[in-house]
Each structure stands twice: as C-alpha cells, then as structure tokens.
Amino acid sequence: MDRTNDRQPRPATKAATKAAPKAAAKARGPYAVGDERRRRILDVAVEHFAQWGFHASSLARIAKEVGVTQGGLLHHFRSKEDLLVSVLERSEEHDIEQSFAEDFDSAADCFLRLIDLVAYNSRRPGRTRMFNVLIGEASDPGHPAHAFFKRRYATVTTRLTDTFEAAVASGELHPDTDCTAVVHELIAVMDGHQLQWALAPDEVDMAARLRLYFDRLYRSISREGASLP
C-alpha cells in the first residue's frame, strides 16, 4: 500500500525555528509604520479642518505637515472626502468608547456622563473646534459630512430619548415629561455652550455651566424634584 500521504512532516530545524519569529517581526514592521502614519495623518487633519474647515483645507498642506507626499497620503485615504469621513468616524468611535459604551443606569446617570464628556472635550480643543466648524458647513446637503452629522444627531436623539422614556417608566421622571423635546433642548444648549467656549475658552467653563443647567433641568422633570448627585 502506498503510504506517501501518511508521512508526517519532519520537525523544523532549530535554525528555522529561530528564524520564524524574526521573519514575522520583520513582516509586522511595515504595517506598524503604516498604522502610525495613518494615525498621524488623522491627527493633523483634525487641526486643519478645525482651522480652515473642509473646503479650504488642503491635502498638500496636511501631507507636508505629516512629512509625506500627497501621493503617500492618498495611499491611506482615497480623497479629501474620504479623509474627512475617516476623521469623523474615528472621533465618534472614541466618544462611544469614552462615555457611551454602556447603557445609562438612569436619567441622572445620563446627565452626569454628558457633563464628563463635555469636560473631556474641553481638554481636546482641536477636535471640538473641528466639530464646530464642520457642523456649520455640513448644513449644506452637498457637504461630504452632511450625512454623517444627520445620522449622528438622529442616533444621539434616539438614545437619549429612550433613556428618558425608561426613566419615566421607572418613576424617576414625571409621567408627563416630553422626552423628545427635553433631548432637543439639552443638545441645543450643549452645542451653544460649545460655540461660546470655542470663542473664549479661558472665559467659558463648559462643564461647570452645563452642570448648573442640567441640575435645573433635572429638578424640573424629576418626580421628586431632586438635584443631580
């Protein structure tokens, strides 16, 4: 009987075993460099979009600051539109990980976590100013970020409304609370404070101001008229 297919492969030699990790490490090297360059491009793009907006930002200027050619930048991002969407999606993923990875325990917990997010945003001015600039631009349906911001506001509104409706059902909030209206109001106030902060960051403490506003709002809709913890 032919046992050719039953033969077991010979164990690797010591030399081959030692060479394997080195080869793997060498293979990983270019990927690590590419990932780092991609992160650098995204970080620089945030600052450029914050300063000049989307239309006035230049891929050539972004590439020059990163230290790559424009062709090198386009190796990672197909176009300026693709770069913008990647910047926004990366920022959104980070926000979710930072503050919204878990469900809210209550309406009070929701308010407190929003305050924490605002305080965090004040410590990363480039990203926050970028959002201010792009939100204004993206009101144009033809803007490449229009769909992103429309979806983002819809997602945030739905999640916060669901949280407050659950708080009504649990008895934390008044049964006649118009949850959707409350959410629209608090988003508008948050965005307004963010704009004021962008104009005078040394004079506007976003987190402190929103803490006062959220406390007044919570007392007005909570069944017990309680303040935030």
pLDDT given at position 9 = 44
| pLDDT tier at 28, thresholds 50, 70, 90 | low
Q: Does residue 39 have a pLDDT over 70?
A: yes
pLDDT tens column, 171-220: 999 999 999 999 999 999 999 999 999 899 999 999 999 999 999 999 99
CA distance 15 to 111: 61
CA distance 194 to 118: 8
Q: Does residue 15 have a pLDDT over 60?
A: no
Note every long-range contact of 167-175, with CB atoms under 8 Å and residues 24 or more positions apart, other chains counting. Answer: 167/106, 167/107, 170/106, 171/223, 172/106, 172/107, 172/108, 172/222, 172/223, 173/107, 173/221, 173/222, 173/223, 174/221, 174/222, 174/223
| pLDDT tier at 30, thresholds 50, 70, 90 | low
pLDDT given at position 186 = 95
pLDDT tens column, 96-147: 887 777 889 999 999 999 999 999 989 888 888 888 888 889 999 999 999 9
Q: Does residue 160 have a pLDDT over 80?
A: yes
Torsion of CA 96, 101, 103, 105, to 10 degrees: -100
CA distance 136 to 53: 9
Share of the chain above pLDDT 70, in %: 86
Mean pLDDT of 69-95: 90
